[in-house]
A and B are shown apart, each in its own frame.
Chain A
Amino acid sequence: MRINLSRKKIRNSFVDKVQELSGQNLLACYQCGKCSAGCPAVDEMDILPNQIIRFAQLGLKEELLASKAIWICASCLTCNARCPKGINIAEVIEALRQILLRNRKDHLKVEKLSDKEKEDIPPIALICSMRKFTS
């Protein structure tokens, strides 16, 4: 993957927005990789949790917002529990999802679920999914 860095990107308001929404200091991360080592969802991720933090530090908005990984994270909070710097990585990923959802970019298409699926899947799962994946 080719990545272009620039001072302009790093000082972009996107970095501030992610920090504000997540309440996290992105620069606290020193890339130990413990979050990705313990994440049960890495098999399915295109950008790993420690890389998400690095990309966010560098203001790589397009790459982050187009990634599959932010929709694979189920906020299990294992990364948060293990971060030696106390960064809540799951909160950063939630902030990225929220940036999209607040622009009406829903991830789940509720109308595409069949009646059978809606009947079989318990309300706890449907509500969670709608809360996390729709605006």
Chain B
Amino acid sequence: MKICYYPGCTLKNHAKNFEDSTICALNTIGVEVEELSRWNCCGTVFSLTTDDLIHHIAPIRNLIRVKEANYDKVMTVCAMCYNTLKRANERIKSDPESMDILNNFMDREEVQYDGDVQVFHLLEFLKDEIGFENLAKKVVKPLKKLKIASYYGCLLVRPKEIGLDDMENPTILEDLMETLGGKPVDFPYKTECCGAYQTVDRPDIIADRTNRILTSAKDRGAEMVVVSCPLCAFNLDQRQKHTVEKYPEFKHIPVLYFTQALAMALGCPEETLRFDLNFIDPKPILKERGLI
């Protein structure tokens, strides 16, 4: 099986561990990944004002690239890219007038876009196309009951028509972690916003959120947290440095991309897991369990 892949900007630099672990995991289960030969930033956020069509151009252009590569579906792993691409697509599909305006604006594109590309997330692919029961058979290094809290943040689950699971109580990540042999830890802040882009000029707000979210996960017994968004990862992992400055009693906890846990369980070599890019080093706990 071969799938078309849209990486998004951050997977090429700060979140290279997200990309490398994704590709190794998919290759290990026999899925070939073809990255779009040409793509641009999705815009990161979906424009919420009714008349702001210009900002839907970036995501829609990427969907045109998918059609040019002869695919009708595209996979994303970044929660923000997933949300922005899918929502822009739904937005113009439901409004033929704006679709015409966009197509007219992009008059140098050879493909007229009509909303027919499907955007899906790796989690949906693993659950619906591969099946967690089949994935379980490919696990060579079960996660040995490692206690894992799954953090969804906002954009995997909201709004309802875009989200890939229940808005208030999603479980897809927990189900995946269980499939990999981990022990999911439920906690009340799994869909609470990490503060997102406030990290640029208000890292103090992020310290509050990170403290609240991670302390809750730790109090429930979590030994690590998994995420699917490079911005959540930055706020919950790198910003632990600011968190401990503001809250000296805060205790560090490793934050991984869910694909790092997946690739590890599927037996991918350590160099594809790229733990060097995780700020709080997960290696001590993984070594203790004999996982690396």
Contact = CB atoms under 8 A, between A and B. Distances in A.
Tell whether A pairs with B.
yes
Nearest to A88: B48
A24 to B, nearest CB: 9
A88 B87 CA distance: 15
Nearest to B238: A120
Given A44-B205, A75-B45, A76-B193, A125 B50 contact: no
A95 B49 contact: yes
Most buried by B among A76, A94, A108, A124: A124
B231 interface: yes
A94 B49 contact: yes
A21 interface: yes
Residues of A in contact with B, size category? 35 or more
Nearest to A38: B192
B288 interface: no
A72 B198 contact: yes
Contacts of B197: 74, 125-126, 128-129, 132-133
Nearest to A112: B201
Q: Is the interface of A mostly helix, strand, loop or mixed?
A: helix
Interface stretch (B6-14, B26-34, B60-68, B245-253): B6-14
A131 B8 CA distance: 16
Interface of A: 20-23, 40-41, 43-44, 72, 74-78, 80-81, 88, 90-91, 94-95, 98, 108, 113, 117, 120-129, 131-133
Given A91-B49, A124-B231, 18 more contacts: A20-B50, A22-B48, A22-B50, A40-B192, A41-B195, A74-B193, A74-B197, A75-B196, A81-B159, A95-B48, A108-B201, A113-B200, A124-B44, A124-B230, A128-B44, A129-B198, A129-B201, A131-B43
